[in-house]
Amino acid sequence: MSLLSDLINLNLSDTTEKVIAEYIWIGGSGLDLRSKARTLPGPVSDPSKLPKWNYDGSSTGQAPGEDSEVIIYPQAIFKDPFRRGNNILVMCDAYTPAGEPIPTNKRHNAAKIFSHPDVVAEEPWYGIEQEYTLLQKDVNWPVGWPVGGFPGPQGPYYCGAGADKAFGRDIVDAHYKACLYAGINISGINGEVMPGQWEFQVGPAVGISAGDELWVARYILERITEIAGVVLSFDPKPIKGDWNGAGAHTNYRDTLRTEGQLLTWTRMLLLP
């Protein structure tokens, strides 16, 4: 296992200029994240300099089997906290081979609105509070809860500290640092009301970058929980009964009161 760890942590810049780009996109449910990697001849910092790529949309619920090709367009670049070095994460959106956005591509229309000169002049700021729940992998029950049973009532867990109140903090802190490394404007974390539930905040971020940063922050969290053997849930009500729900709350600096359409598109882009 130590050899495996050494290989994973190899610094490629010692031996090659080539870098690995992990292309990320949103799957057919509108919530699931997909990704695959490719080798580039050298470092890239401008998404317009990256090649478009393709994937089998019939395997993600986004295209029929007889016409399954979907094209992904690179839109935003982040440093890769897993491979590190010059390797990158690339947030993409998805199109048909003819260049039409597929139905789950909400970013395309949002980008049109955010790039409008009147909107650009207003600098719309967003802060998104993303709540989530960490679940034990084999039973889909919150971490820190007795299997098939319940912890003490809510009250001491919100922003709590201690082995009997805060469950999964190592995952949360790893995610916090990984997002900062990636260049995401993550502004904080806290324990939430239900034990095993946490929140991170992205922003303030301007315009469509808020959506890109939130989705990549979600992707990074998915990868960290994968490593930890824990299931990540964005379910708004993961546990039935009188237990706190989870959501993504959008805070908007309202500098242009006639932009109801802008806010509508933003909610479509950002929220589960």
Are the C-beta atoms of 102 and 30 separated by less than 8 Å? no
User: Half-sphere exposure of residue 40, counting CA atoms within 13 Å on the CB side?
Assistant: 22
Q: Which of 176, 155, 130 is nearest to 242 (CA)?
A: 155
Domains and CATH numbers, the chain: 4-115 (3.10.20.70), 121-268 (3.30.590.10)
Give the tens place of pLDDT for each residue, 162-216.
999 999 999 999 999 999 999 999 999 999 999 999 999 999 899 999 999 999 9
**Coil, strand or helix: which one is 110?**
helix
**Coil, strand or helix: which one is 271?**
coil
- At residue 254, the pLDDT reads 56
For 221-233, what is the mean pLDDT? 97
pTM: 0.91
DSSP-assigned letter for residue 54:
E
Are the C-beta atoms of 55 and 72 separated by less than 8 Å? yes
Q: pLDDT over 90 for what percent of the chain?
A: 79
Give the tens place of pLDDT for each residue, 80-128.
999 999 999 999 999 999 999 999 999 999 999 999 998 888 888 999 9
Q: Has residue 64 got a pLDDT over 90?
A: no
- At residue 255, the pLDDT reads 56
With cut-offs at 50, 70 and 90, classify the pLDDT of residue 268. Answer: very low
DSSP-assigned letter for residue 153:
P
- For the beta carbon of residue 46, count every other beta carbon within 10 angstroms: 8
> Measured in whole angstroms, how far is the alpha carbon of residue 248 from the centre of its chain?
12
- At residue 227, the pLDDT reads 96
- At residue 66, the pLDDT reads 87
Average model confidence (pLDDT) across the chain: 91
- At residue 18, the pLDDT reads 96
The CA distance from 8 to 72, in Å, is 27
The Cα angle at residue 176 between residues 171 and 180, in degrees rounded to 5: 145
Are the C-beta atoms of 87 and 13 separated by less than 8 Å? no
Residue type, 30: G
- At residue 267, the pLDDT reads 45
Q: Has residue 138 got a pLDDT over 50?
A: yes
Q: Which of 236, 232, 244, 126 is nearest to 187 (CA)?
A: 126
